[in-house]
Structures are given as C-alpha cells and as structure tokens.
Structure 1
Amino acid sequence: MTDSRVRTEPLLYGAMRLGGTKTAESARAADVDEAEAAVNAALDCGITMFDLADIYRQGRSEAVFGAVLDRTPGLRERIVIQTKCGIRLADQDRPGRYDLRGPVIRQRVEESLTRLRTDVIDVLLLHRPDPLADPAEIAEALSALHRQGLVRQFGVSNMGAAQIAHLQRHLDVPLVANQLEMSLGRRGWVEAGVLVNTPAAATNGFPLGTLEHCVANGIHLQSWGSLAQGRYTGRQETPAEHATAQLVSTLARQKDTTPETIVLWWLQRHPARIAPVIGSTRPDRILACRDAVRRKPELSHDEWYALWVAARGAALP
C-alpha cells in the first residue's frame, strides 16, 4: 500500500449508515444484505475506498462490513479500508468524550480488526482531537501498530493545520489524510481564504491555512457531509438553497449527468483535489454519483463560482 493510492481516490464510500437502526442490539441478516447491496453499488461506480469508524452504529457498521467481506471472496484485496477511533460515546455515568490515550487507541484498533474480519487496516484516522492527549503517547501507539503490521497508514479527521503539524513532529510515519466537513452547504473551508481582512473572518470558524498545509505536505483531503444532506438534490428550506438546487439541476441537464455529481464536482474541481465521502445506503443514490468517479469535473471557472455565490446567497466580498 503506497501513499499515492490513498491520495488519488476520487470518491469514498462512507459506511456510517450501514448496520441497521441505532437502537438495534446487534446487526441482523437484513442489515448485512443492505450493506452488501450498498457496497456492490459503490464498486459498480468504481469506488474502491471504504470509510468506517468504530462508533458508527455502535460498531455494527464495521461488523456488517466484515460480514460482506466474508461473503465475497477476493474483495478484501481489491479495496482500501479506512476506519477511525478517538470518539467514545456516552455510556452509563460517563459523558460522550474523546480518548486518544495510547492503550485505548490499540484496544479500539484491535476491536475494529475483529469486527471487520481482517488482519490489517489500510488507513486509521484519529476521529477528533483529544485536548488531554499526549502527542508522544499517540505517536508511540501508532508506531507500534505500524511496526506490527496492524495498520498501514495514518491520518486525522476534523483537525486544523497547527494540530496536524504538532502531532506530526512526534511521528516517524507520515499522516496521509485529513477528513473535514466540506460541501457546497458547509463552505467555511473555501470562505476562509477570501474573508481575510473582512469583518466576517472572525465568525468563519474554519482554521485558515489548513488546506494549504495539507496540500504542501501531501495530506489527502477528504470531505464528509459532501452532499450537504441532500439540500441541493432533494428538499430545500431557504431561498438560497432553492436557487442553488435549480442551478445544480440546470447544470446536470446541460452536462448529461446527475445533480449529485454536480455537487460533488464542485468539491473535486478545487485544486486541493478533495475526495468526497458519500454515505447513502440506497444503491440508486450511490449510482447517481458514478460520474464523480468516471469523469473529471466538468465545471468551468464561471460555473464553479456561480454555484458558490448561489449557495452563499450573497455576492463575494
């Protein structure tokens, strides 16, 4: 497994909805059937990288994915498995929390390997920053997992440039990915670069320089929430969303593709080479995204800006 394989994935399938309802105690056969149909649709699109996390459906997403691997001989060798650890859900008297202590990282990885029915994780992401974490302890845990062949590569999720650089100083292995919420609906990542020296910069919230840091250091940018919860391809709630959805639909007709593809192309058109993560369980919705794998983004400079301005509901500064 090389760094280049991770960086060049144009689209990932996110398994956060696999595994049945949140209240089910265990995954059912029907949940495995649903997962298998979703995975096959993703493969039909040309997607070969699958994004999971230990907390998705309280571990059932990983469990049903592992069951799909068991059903399909040879599938494991054809795909890249990415999972995450670091978020602990509320339980008994303990609140929801972040936990990147070294022994906990190892425990969660071993549990993920068991659920996934595999002997190696291709990419492990640290799901959220833990303010109490010791970066040297994290580095020791990750290095041990790498040496022992349990994890091939590492990355982060929801971290800014300074946090990534601080952690990397302690690591011998490179961080290869950063997964952030980025979409036509959540535009802080692109707005940060143009709101400099404006009053709005103070309320943007996205850490300026994060994209640039990732690109400069070969860290693959992945976007969760990339379809903006369907607000431009389904139901709209605001005038700006309605206007943007109309433009998305018009561009889709002109380019003989789907509205979902236009929304994903808007991310992929950025020179940072953002790889969106899609997460529907419906094969038809997954297949609607296939042109985001099979075709290069066909948005002109003006079309890309037209979508941006429509979504923000106001002219650029």
Structure 2
Amino acid sequence: MSFPLPLTSHLRDAGPLVYGCMALGGDWGDGPVTEADVAHAHEAVEAALAIGIKLFDHADIYRRGKAETVFGELLKRDAGLRAKVRLQSKCGIRFADDTAPGRYDLSADYIEASVDGILKRLAVEHIDILLLHRPDPLMQPAEIAHAFGRLKAAGKVGHLGVSNMHAGQMRWLQSALREPLVANQLEISLAKLDAIDAGTTFNDPQATTRPGGIAWAGTLEYAQQHGVQLQAWGSLAQGRFNDPSASAAAKAVHEIAEAHRTTVNAVLLAWLLRHPAGIQPVIGSGNAERIRACGDATRIQLSREEWYRLYVATRGQALP
C-alpha cells in the first residue's frame, strides 16, 4: 500500500515540481538580454508549464540578474502568464566588488534592497516566496524578522523561506519570526546524498567523517515536523547517470527507467518524490526537451526495493 505525500499547506497548490530559472537570461556577463534569450526562456517556460509546473524559482544573482529580467519580459509580453505561475526568488549572496570579496549578506537593508531589485527585474509588485539564499554567519534573526515584516506589510513578499540551511539554523531563525518558514532549498539528488545519509548512516565512521555529511543531521526531520517544504536543487545530478556504462548506479537507473517505461530524468526525480518529506525537485535545465522528459516523474511510483537499490548503488557500499 502507498500513501499520498501532500505538500506543506503553504505550497500545496504549487505542484510537486519546481522550475529553476538559473539557465535563463543568456551568459553571466553584464550585457543586456537579447531577443534570442527571450525566445530561449519562452521555450523553456512553456515546456515547464506543459508538464504541470507552477512554481518558478529565481535568485537575484542568476545570470547577474538577467534570469529575472528575461522572465519579466515574458510576463510583459503575455498578460495571462502571471496568473499561471507562482514566483519565488532568493537573495543574500553578493559577488566580489571593489570593497569586499564574495560574501553573504542577510542584513535588513540588503534584503529589502534586494527585493526591490527582484520586483523591478521581474516587472511585478509581489513575489509569492522569498528565500534567504545562504546562511550568513553574521545574520541576526530579529533583524531578518523586522525586514520580512516590512516587506510583508508593503505587499512585496508573501512568505519567507531559506536555502542551504540546516535544522539548527532554521530553528534559530524561526525563533524570531511570527510566521513559519515555508521552504528550504537544499542540494539533494541521487548524486548528492549528504542530507539523507545524515539520518541513515550517522553511526558509520566513514559517513560521519565525509565532508558535509553529519552537518545535515535532523534537517529533513525538522522540515517534516514543522511543515517546511523541502526543495531539491541539482535534482538531475548534472547528467551523472546519463550513460548506463558509467557506473553500477547509472546502470540501475537505466534498468529501472526501462521497467517503468520512462526516462532517466523521471526516475531521478521520482526517487526524490518517494521520500516521505514530499521533496519538490527543482529542474534547472534550460533544454525544453529535457524539461519535458521530466514529466513522467509524478506518474510513476518507485517501490521500496527500487528506492533502496538506487540509494545503495550510488553510495557504492552497503548500509551499515
């Protein structure tokens, strides 16, 4: 028997998949958005809409702002598009400049200025969700809470979430907030198992000494307990499993895809969707064909045995 895995209440209408817009907007230079960039973005967004995606994920740094700019151009050209999508963006990463190195900044002034820039580039007055992109070691939860309160009161932001934060950081930030954090976006995929290993192999010396492993202990459990929607960036594993001869894990992915008469991409996403946290995979490809190939992910259900076969094969060693 299988049980449905509902999304958290704040994101229930967003659907099980997210489209990550980092590939849109051309190169990472300072030049303007071109018509070719707009055409590419239109093709990718239409492919995402075609497989039922509603939530579109941005960040103010993607293509140095051009990902948001090109999406804003699509919204200007199609009056009905805004009603079809939910918009999420992130802030808090600053590139190196003349005064300082690359750094994280979750000060109130920077958050509020960043949101104004996001709204301008997207050509909207409101975004549904703001994520804090990286944990700033100098962050002060009360300061962030005041900034979010002002943004919320001004109608600029609907909900607040985080990205790349572990359970302790979420708990610390939530202590100052009146409203619940609604999402946490982490790198999780069949090729990036740290967050899952942290709850599975915590008593394995090899796992606990691996960089990034034990740091995520309790993060998935905290999210499930407190209704924080987990989103998985890097969910397609950068093409690591495309070649079935590359590894035993890749072979297993292909064999399971064949058994379900689906694509490798769909299996990778279905593996995440099978987790009881109801993880939303973020599809970051700019290739319309590859985006459409992800559509089967919500229509297949991996068995426990298939899920564990992929997990153990990718780990490359038996569970402790």
The residue number in structure 2 matching 1:199 is 205
Check if 1:59 corresponds to 2:76.
no
What's the secondary structure of 1:124's corresponding residue? strand
2:189 is aligned with 1:176? no
Which residue does 1:41 correspond to in 2? 47
Q: In 2, Cα distance between the equivalents of 1:258 and 1:300?
A: 17
Tell me which residue corresponds to 2:125.
119
Matched, 1:80 2:86: yes
Match of 1:264 in 2: 269
Q: Percent identity?
A: 50
Kindly indicate whether the alpha-carbon contact (under 8 Å) linking 2:25 and 2:41 is maintained by their aligned counterparts in 1: yes
Distance 1:29 1:205 in 2: 46
* Partner secondary structure for residue 178 of structure 1: strand
DSSP-derived class of the 2:96 partner: coil
Which of residues 285, 293, 302 in structure 1 aligns to 2:305? Answer: 302
Code of the residue aligned with 1:309 in structure 2: it is V
The one of 243, 251, 255 aligned to 1:250: 255
Matches within 5 A, 1:13-28: 13-28=19-34
Letter in 1 for 2:226: N
Q: Return the alpha-carbon distance in structure 1 between the equivalents of residues 214 and 27 of structure 2.
A: 33
TM-score by length of 1: 0.94
Q: Is the 8 A contact 2:29 2:64 kept in 1?
A: no
In 2, are the aligned partners of 1:158 and 1:181 still within 8 Å (CA)? yes
Is residue 18–residue 281 contact of structure 1 (8 Å, CA) maintained in 2?
Answer: yes
User: More deviation in 158-167 or 24-33?
Assistant: 24-33
- Work out the CA distance in 2 between the residues paired with 1:292 and 1:144: 39
For the residue of structure 1 that corresponds to 2:200, the secondary structure is coil
Match of 1:225 in 2: 234
User: Any stretches of 5+ residues in structure 1 without a counterpart?
Assistant: none
Partner Cα distance (1:80, 1:290) in 2: 19
Which of 293, 299, 316 is residue 313 of structure 1 equivalent to? Answer: 316
| 2:3 matched residue in structure 1 | none
**Residue 53 (structure 2) pairs with residue 50 (structure 1):** no
How far 1:100 moved relative to its partner? 0.7
Q: Distance in 1 between matches of 2:96 and 2:11?
A: 32
Q: Per-residue deviation at 1:229?
A: 0.5
CA distance in 2, matches of 1:197, 1:249: 31
1:289 aligns with 2:298: no
Cα offset for 1:3?
6.2
Aligned to 1:277, the other structure's residue is in SS state: strand
Shift of 1:7: 4.3
Gapped regions of structure 2 (runs ≥ 5)? 1-6
Q: What's the counterpart of residue 68 of structure 1?
A: 74
In the TM superposition, 1:133-148 aligns within 5 A as 133-148=139-154
How many residues align? The count is 310
Compared CA separation, residues 106 and 24, structure 1 to 2 (3 A)? closer
Deviations 1:266-301 (A, max 9, x none): 1110111100001111110000001124x1x42111
Is the contact made by 1:85 and 1:127 (CA closer than 8 Å) also made in structure 2?
yes
For residues 302 and 54 of structure 2, the distance between their equivalents in structure 1, rounded to whole angstroms, comes to 24
Output the TM-score relative to the length of structure 2.
0.93
CA RMSD, 1 decimal? 1.6
Counterpart for residue 108 of structure 2: 102
